[in-house]
Amino acid sequence: MVYNQFYIGDNMNRESMRAWSLILQLGISMIVPIMLCLFLGIWLDKVFGTKPVIMIVFIILGVCAGFRSVYVLTKEFFEDKDSYINTDDYKNKDTK
């Protein structure tokens, strides 16, 4: 009998799918604030005529916002993983 590689009932595949989704979320949550702040900084520099100053400040803010969102996502991921591993169903899996 051949099993599907992404069989949802298998805990290991479920965890690997969660890890892949976390990697995608981390990339998106890091790039989006940086790009938004970059474009906002460029636009504000054009409006106020202060060529690189506001853009640099907003890029730094975007990087900080990106790192914060990455921190929150990884913290939630590992908290959920710890609570998932400590459930009685997972501990008693081998006894069924």
pLDDT tens digits, residue range 32-86?
999 999 999 999 999 999 989 999 999 999 999 999 999 999 898 888 766 666 6
Token reading at 62: 């975007």
Of the pLDDT bands very low, low, confident and very high (cuts 50, 70, 90), residue 1 is: very low
- What angle separates helix 53-85 from helix 11-48, to the nearest 10 degrees? 160
CA angle 39, 30, 82 (to 5 degrees): 160
The pTM is what?
0.70
- Rounded to an integer, what distance in angstroms lies between the CA atom of residue 57 and that of residue 59? 6
> Residue 14 has which token pair?
């479920």
